[in-house]
Amino acid sequence: MTDFNFISADDVDDVEKLAQEVLEIKKDPFRWKYLGQNKTLVLVFLNSSLRTRLSTQKAALNLGMNAIVLNLGQDSWNMEFADGVIMKGNTAEHIKEGAAVISEYADIIALRSFPSLTDRTKDYQEFILNQFVKYSSVPVVNMESATVHPLQSLTDLATIREFTQKKRPKVVLTWVPHIKPLPQCVSNSFAQWMNRADVEFVIANPEGYNLSKEFTGDAQVFHTQREAFKNADFIYAKNWSSYEDYGKVLKEDFSWLVTPGKMALTNQAKFMHCLPVRRNVVVADEVLDSDSSIVIRQAGNREWAAQAVIRRILEKRV
């Protein structure tokens, strides 16, 4: 275990300063192209990804690093994460050797590991991520874990700063419908970062979908979108399953779809989503295809956010 991990906003002293570094890197991405020379990033995935995989790989390449992707359990042996077990099941390799061996080849390990959505205590203790951190001897970057997605949230803050000159914009995180239970991590993480940023932050979600106070803090929570959307400068849409009735979809409330009518309540707000997004379930085509939607620029910024984080680790500044 090392001190230079990037696990959540707790590892960042000033989130606004790091967001500014993201935008500086965007202007001159190859300025540090020798910083990572002869170093290797190993990206370990336990779950699917498009943006995180490509942007983090690309960020490493921009810094002169090698990047290797490992789809754990598909390209490699199934891994056992629990300590003290008798390994008679379908797991052939223990995290104790696995993380230690990856650390022999890697200068930084990046990990994606989603929650089970069945065991809240274990998920919110970040069991898998913490086992990786415990048994790795190189820094670990969180590429989305059971409770947070810090590379996404850093991107989101940088994108908000890119699209407004307002010192303190109004930012709304709104729950939106979905067809299956999704983790709370993007929303938890967004709340955690917004609470540390210089923004007016509010949340809109139906009854029964309140997120953990550990992440939302004192943010105001509305149970209608109409009230929350008033004068908003940014609408950040994301579905999550219930935290209280853990991992459950309580009801399929499609009236929470983001529509042009709802966007008209705002201060000509920009529409944001981490992607992937289900059209006309989460957001209407008319919003996603409008000039107010910045989702592609937002996704593009993932590269610079990952680069800012890896750069800090290489410079031993995280």
Residues that bind ligand CP (CB under 6 A): 49-52, 144, 152, 274-275
| Number of C-beta neighbours around residue 198 at 10 A | 13
* CB-CB contact of 146 with 114 (8 Å): yes
For residue 208, the minimal CB distance to ligand CP (Å) is 25
* Minimum separation from the CB atom of position 104 to ligand CP (A): 27
Least distance from ligand CP to the Cβ atom of residue 113, Å: 12
Q: Rounded to 5 degrees, what are φ and ψ at 11?
A: -90, 5
Query: Min. distance of Cβ 268 from ligand CP in angstroms?
Result: 25
Phi-psi region of 220 (alpha: psi -120 to 50; beta: other; left: phi over 0): beta
**Cα(153)–Cα(15) distance, rounded to whole angstroms?**
10
Residue number with CB closer to ligand CP (72 or 274): 274
Give the residue with the Cβ less far from ligand CP, 103 or 310: 310
Q: Select 51 or 270, whichever has its Cβ closest to ligand CP.
A: 51
Q: Which two tokens stand for residue 107?
A: 């200068």
Kindly tell me which of 64 and 300 has the beta carbon lying closer to ligand CP. 300
Angle made by CA atoms 67, 301, 53, in degrees to the nearest 5: 30
- The CB-of-43 to ligand CP minimum distance in angstroms stands at 11
**Shortest Å distance, C-beta 301 to ligand CP:** 11
Non-local CB neighbours of 74 within 8 Å, separated by 6+ positions: none
Q: Is 144 left (phi over 0), alpha (psi -120 to 50) or beta?
A: left
Closest to 310 (Cα-Cα) out of 107, 147, 157, 69: 107
Cα–Cα distance for residue pair 313/305, rounded to 1 Å: 13
Sign of the Cα pseudo-torsion (52, 83, 130, 139, in order): negative
Nearer to ligand CP, 103 or 152 (CB): 152
For residues 241 and 247, is the Cβ–Cβ distance under 8 A?
A: yes
State the nearest-atom distance from the C-beta of 46 to ligand CP, in Å.
12
**Residue (48 or 268) nearer to ligand CP, CB:** 48
Nearer to ligand CP, 101 or 275 (CB): 275
Contact between 146 and 176 under an 8 Å Cβ cutoff? The reply is no
Q: What is the nearest approach in angstroms of ligand CP to the Cβ of residue 281? A: 17
Closest by CA to 41, choosing from 63, 8, 73, is 63
Q: For residues 209 and 172, give the distance between their C-alpha atoms in angstroms, rounded to a whole number.
A: 15
> Of 32 and 163, which CB lies nearer to ligand CP in the complex structure?
163
Q: How many CB atoms lie within 10 A of CB 19?
A: 26
